[in-house]
Structure 1
């Protein structure tokens, strides 16, 4: 059975939009494109390499596919990430019958969630999401993400497309591994851990003041 892994660059306030360049995705007036650039050093680069050390196929939304298709086929042939990205199969969430010109790319069709549910039942490498914030919201709504591998950068961006956006369904997560780097970047991997569990630190017998406080919230 195949897993879906969201491997994502994210700010401390959850923004994942346009981490690479100012021209990557300025939609919505986003003006901080390229916000990861000054945090990359040897250690952070090695962490990025860890994301790709196991066999994978790419799972991309249409906008991220277009960004990648305009870059990676034309990158330095000695770039190890370019070698990987140009070799793997790319599954693309795209509306309509639009030609995918990057070789080895396949449309997921009209019902993305159903197509991925079937893909997960088969044999093959992990399906690795890069970027693709809109696609991630669809996957969150359908509970299809099996792992989050996050590179968390020490800055806040205020506005922008978020990892946990409109598709988020309440759920608990379990931290399976983590690592920090001199740049302040943290690499953390989380797995789903069931429903959110609640409890209470309140006194067994609330005070009259607490009762009045609660009543005032109605």
Structure 2
């Protein structure tokens, strides 16, 4: 079965939105290597509506981050949205998920291929984690207080969910990269 992963940058005060506004010079060689490993292992991406709209407006014309732009523009992308239509998905290799998300992802994990990554979709990652479908959640904590922006990957009222720490690394610029998986009960 294919592995489903999600990874998010966040600040010490829990901001997960728009890391380009507060990452500053904290993105170091170790994070570049991590992103390189993601690009090498992931061959399918899941996006939520908001993430799709933001990324589809940026990555097809991005001049910076050429390596990631090449990857994200060419990889097959499945979009979870109740409001968008397939005709509105103009970014290359984008397909609207029809039907219920969880059975779709369960089926996708059973198909041949590499890793599947949730990108740019906090709500999507939360839903898949609580459904038991997300295999790894990586949090990249930058040594900065962002001050404003959407905080917290999780919401009040989310179910108590036990996780296992699978890996923890400190980078040369003080980022802490932690990877969690669901605890086997």
Verify same fold: TM over 0.5.
Answer: yes
1:66 Cα deviation after fit: 1.2
- Quick one: distance in 2 between partners of 1:125 and 1:5? 11
Tell whether 2:181 aligns with 1:191: yes
User: Over aligned residue pairs, what C-alpha RMSD do you find?
Assistant: 2.3
The structure whose RCO (Cα within 8 Å, separation 6+) is larger is 2
Find out whether 1:42 has 2:29 as its counterpart.
yes
Structure 1 residue 115 corresponds to structure 2 residue 119 = no
The yes-or-no answer on 1:105 pairing with 2:85 is no
The answer as to whether partners of 2:13 and 2:151 remain within 8 angstroms in 1 is no
Quick one: structure 1 residues 115 and 100, their matched pair in 2 at CA, closer, same or farther if it must change by over 3 Å? same
**Partner residue, 1:76:** 63
Distance 2:63 2:143 in 1: 30
Matched, 1:176 2:163: no
2:25 match: secondary structure: helix
Stretches of structure 1 lacking an aligned partner (at least 5 in a row): 21-33, 196-218
Encode CA deviations 1:2-27: one digit per residue, 9 max, x unaligned.
2210111122343311212xxxxxxx
Distance 2:65 2:34 in 1: 19
Q: TM (normalized to structure 2)?
A: 0.85
User: For the pair shown, which has the larger CA radius of gyration, 1 or 2?
Assistant: 1
8 Å Cα contact 2:130/2:161 also seen in 1: no
With over 3 angstroms needed to count, the CA separation of the structure-2 counterparts of 1:42 and 1:166, relative to structure 1, is same
Q: Secondary structure at the match of 1:165?
A: coil
Structure 2 residue 6 is the aligned partner of structure 1 residue 53 = no
Unaligned runs of 5+ in 2: none
Aligned to 1:127: 116
Q: CA deviation at 1:157?
A: 4.5
Matched, 1:162 2:152: yes
